[in-house]
Structure 1
Amino acid sequence: MNRARAAGPAVVALGGGHGLSATLSALRLMSDRLTAVVTVADDGGSSGRLRSEFGVLPPGDLRMALTALSDDSDWGRTWSDVLQHRFHSSGTLDKHAVGNLLILAVWEQLGDTVAGLDLMGQLLRARGRVLPMAAVPLAIEADVAELVPSGGPGVARTRVVRGQSAVAVAQGRIEQIRLTPADPPACPEAVAAIDAADWIVLGPGSWYTSVLPHLLVPELAAALHRTSARRCVTLNLSAETHGETDGMSLTEHLQVLHQHAPGLHIDAVIADPRAVDDVEPLIEAATELGARLLLRQVRTGDGTPHHDPLRLAAAYRDVFDDFLGDVGTRAR
């Protein structure tokens, strides 16, 4: 193991899907002391089918986090590709990811969710640990405000949307989200990792279905509030043109975070300048959370809305080293 990497900070990254994978791909360049705490509310696709049929945690986001941490060797890359492979057929295996099935098999063999994920991490020689945020599968429920076509200008009604896959594409403005069950047991190992961390990283990713749910698991939220770790929020690179955050600015993303966890102190917020329409409101929203804003180019050079691992890692390094002003200027 690389001594410099092993000496890095203990970082817990919270999220799910492609957003968490982007975070982990950057953080793994800085430390092996990584823990991914992954949302377990997915109810669509391969994960949803396995969850429904076997009553297990949805494995898809856990699989993606594992592959993001897989060893950068022929062994690690090969097994990562195997886990990400999807079947295409006219039968029941259609669109199932191999990794989802393998994780399910390991869980059935060991009878222990965390032990199974740790074993998968050993197979991938993962540079860190992957844990679920809760010990039971969760459902997301959202209050969505939508305009009433026949009600005149500005007339809206609120409807309840249930299920992560439905909330993710809900048309209208999400006002609040809830979890079912409302008081789920947190994964104890995830709580312990947060208590022992140097840094907590939230985002990027689907704000209502991947980032905010962590704040709604009571034991996890309590750990996030009491930990001595510092906290960093990574904002998305572009606004969604449809779905759960349609039309929301980055400033509104921070305001929604504050709404769902009003007592949570944030130390730093990372944003790409090209994603910021008006910097002053964003600075104000960050300040409201107790944070300083770090503007860094973290997207890929081709201009697509994807995080570049090296650039994002450099931004995290600036945050962790307190260089939150201009490059080379220490914040305090």
Structure 2
Amino acid sequence: MRPRIVALGGGHGLSASLQALRHASDDITAVVTVADDGGSSGRLREQFDILPPGDLRMALAALCEDTTWGHQWSSVLQHRFGGEGELAGHALGNLLITALWDLLPQQQVRGLDLVGRLLNTRGRVLPMSLVPLDIEATMCDPGGDGDRVTVRGQSTVASHPGRVESIRLLPEAPPATPEALESIKLADVVVLGPGSWFTSVMPHLLVPQLAQAIRDTPAQRVLTLNVSLNDDEAAGYTAAEHVDVIATHCPDLTFDHVIADPKVARTGAERDALVTAVDRLGAELVLSDVSKTGAAGLHDTLRLAAAYRDVIMVGQ
């Protein structure tokens, strides 16, 4: 029997994990962060007071049916208008999701399910909360004088210079989407990450009901680290510190496996620190070459799929 898998994250990181997990199962639920406030999503969110659709759109495209029909509609969903008019910069899929939510008020999940039917997705896409969220971070001044500043907004946190020390959601303690909680309860495998660590991965653990569901699920829990430590948002963080952030923000949460590319811990000291951090999560460190050749910072879909398959088989 193919395992029931729930993958949590957002943006390109979640898209990579979904494309990889498709090789292990066709029963996949993506639980997507809803704090994006930039680009097309930010404009639509502000204009229509809706959940930001961009990360949801990307997850739907990643789960499209592996046929000509599915790929064509995935391309339509991902198409972004050029030029300088009012449509410039908007992805067509964002507009489609916005239209469905306008036609089906307060039925965000149903609207996403309808897009999934159009693409014949091999799985389901759910927002982690039905409340549009903002991310607020406390950051250390990059000047090194110890000053701290509060930064609000996903796009601002992602690009602001300095080291992120802590993050929180606004409003605090938002309710989780009921269907997301049910999917985690029934899952065989729950995967968190990769992705922008503070704005795509961590927000899931700041929704109390969602964090509790991940703690309580009998499913195998897998944490996937990024293949690069050079993104602006987590600049200065080692691989071990990425793991420690999880433990700091969500005490008592344990994992079974942590997947990491050897390139994120090159020296013996870095490797030892990562092993120690992973041990604190109660997990086994799985070192596997999952990066894409010639494309820094990106996961290779097939390599990541092989890593997932290996740890999922261990848990079966």
Match in the other structure for 1:106: 100
Counterpart position of 2:172: 182
Q: Deviations over 1:16-40 (max 9, x none)?
A: 0000000000001111110000000
Given that residues 10 and 201 in structure 2 are in contact (C-alpha distance below 8 angstroms), is that contact kept between their aligned partners in structure 1?
yes
Is 2:261 the partner of 1:267? no
The 5 A counterparts of 1:129-140 are 129-140=124-135
Q: 1:141-172: per-residue Cα shift (whole Å, max 9, x none)?
A: 00001144xxxxx5211110000000111211
Per the alignment, residue 247 of structure 2 pairs with: 258
Partner of 1:22: 16
Secondary structure at the residue paired with 1:174? strand
The aligned runs of 1:51-200 (5 Å cut-off) are 51-111=45-105, 112-148=107-143, 154-200=144-190
TM-score by length of 2: 0.96
Check conservation: 2:81, 2:88, Cα contact below 8 A.
yes
Q: Secondary structure at the match of 2:233?
A: coil
1:102-125 deviations in Å (ceiling 9; x for gaps): 011111122210000001000011
Please give the per-residue CA displacement for 1:242-294, whole angstroms capped at 9, x wherever unaligned. x2101211111001111111110111000111222221111110000000000
Aligned identity (percent) is 56
Correspondence for 1:218: 208
Moved more, 269-278 or 81-90: 269-278
1:45-84 CA distance string (max 9 Å, x none): 0000000000000000000000000011110111011111
Q: Is 1:292 equivalent to 2:281 in the alignment?
A: no
d(CA) in 2 for partners of 1:226 and 1:215?
13
CA contact (8 A) 2:139 2:149 kept: yes
1:8 aligned onto 2:2: yes
Q: Which amino acid aligns with 2:191?
A: V
Matched, 1:246 2:240: no
Q: Structure 1 counterpart of 2:300, which letter?
A: D
Q: Is residue 202 of structure 1 aligned with residue 192 of structure 2?
A: yes
In structure 2, give the amino acid aligned to 1:140: I
Alpha-carbon distance between aligned partners in 2 of 1:245 and 1:304, rounded to the nearest angstrom:
16
Distance 2:293 2:234 in 1: 25
Highest CA radius of gyration, 1 or 2? 1
Q: TM-score, length-normalised on structure 1?
A: 0.92
